[in-house]
Amino acid sequence: MRRALDLAAAIGAPGPATYPNPRVGCVLLGPDGSMIAEGYHRGPGTPHAEVDALAKAGEAARGATAVVTLEPCNHTGRTGPCSQALIEAGVARVVYAQSDPNPVAAGGAATLKQAGIEVEQGLYAAESRELNRVWTRAAELQRPYVTWKFATTLDGRSAAADGTSRWVSSRAARLDTHKLRALSDTMLVGTNTVAVDDPALTVRDLEDRVVGVQPLRVVMGERDLPDDRRIFDDQAPSLHLRTRDPRSALAALWERERRHVFLEGGPTLAAAFLEAGLVDEIVVYVAPFLLGAGRSAVADLGITTISDAFRPRVRSVDVLAPAAPGEEPNVRFILEPPQENQYRGEQ
């Protein structure tokens, strides 16, 4: 199973090239425990890990044990069901780590058992879930996983009193943001951010060049926008969702097979997602200076007393060393919203 997990990770980090599918690895073992073949899923439209391994094994798969990181799928999508492929190949036993959280694809274990195949589940389940952490949670929620990212001063300002915000964060923080953007398949902002800041919302490298497969750039809101905004250029696909409702926006993106939204909107949009309980992860870059006035990082949440404060759990804290002469270090916090806020609308 450790080898299967390594194979699953061979495709690299999740992102636009892998979603809406998970990363999965499979190892086929002979009756004597020797390895017959191995395979892994390379992305949408390509063979699933089990099928990849079965194709390499051929007739040697008959009587074999399939060790796979995720419960074999039980539905026909871009490819056929892996449960049926394993049955037809004559596999005698299947050991899988994580149960499939996707209700559309789940049920493979039951199908295999009905066909007389021995099935075991749970070996390295936590490790498999962590490998597909975002995909798993999105499948459970049946909506895209939402990461809210923002940069702030020590006193919680995302822009100065005159509206200027370049640059609140350091160059090192901005480069780190691009690495995190690359892990998502969707960038999301509001119409005001597009109208005022005109962001490109692309993944770029040290020289500010657009690199890799780009996330879908989405602007949310009913306001009309000029066609010359950079979000509508040819550097990456874009979409204007004419709604102000976060839940409706996520439902529309889920239908478009989007699984990880990177929210970089302004304080009003951030507050709307927080109040709806639709933020799953928060990434904050804190710069070591004060403004004393200016735009807050998040709009009014209706909190009037300290006992009602929004208190996310800190998952990690990292100091980002300066990437340019004269810069001060920035601190990156990665947090998880309190459980009662995070999923209050999902029950």
Q: Is 76 annotated as a binding residue?
A: no
CA angle, corner 222, sides to 218 and 224, nearest 5?
A: 85
- Contacts for 10 with CB less than 8 Å, ≥ 6 apart: 25, 40
Q: Is 17 annotated as a binding residue?
A: no
Q: Is 152 annotated as a binding residue?
A: no
Distance from C-alpha of 16 to C-alpha of 284, rounded to nearest angstrom: 23
Annotation marks residue 118 as catalytic: no
Q: Is 204 annotated as a binding residue?
A: yes
Q: Is 6 annotated as a binding residue?
A: no
Q: Is 193 annotated as a binding residue?
A: yes
Distance from C-alpha of 174 to C-alpha of 151, rounded to nearest angstrom: 9
Q: Which one of the listed residues 38, 50, 71, 281 is annotated catalytic?
A: 50
Q: Is 201 annotated as a binding residue?
A: yes
Q: Is 226 annotated as a binding residue?
A: no
Q: Is 151 annotated as a binding residue?
A: yes
Q: Is 301 annotated as a binding residue?
A: no
Q: Is 148 annotated as a binding residue?
A: no
Strands 216-220 and 157-159: unpaired
Residue type, 103: P
Range 98-103 contact pairs with CB under 8 angstroms and sequence separation of 24 or more: 98/69, 98/70, 98/71, 98/125, 98/128, 98/129, 98/132, 98/136, 99/71, 99/125, 100/70, 100/71, 100/73, 100/74, 100/139, 101/136, 101/139, 101/140, 102/139, 103/142
Residues belonging to the binding site are 48, 73, 82, 151, 165, 167, 181, 193, 197, 201, 204, 264, 266-272
Binding residue ranges for NADP(+)? 151, 193, 197, 266-272
Which residues are part of the catalytic machinery? 50
Binding region for substrate = 165, 167, 181, 201, 204, 264
Residue numbers in the known binding site for Zn(2+) are: 48, 73, 82
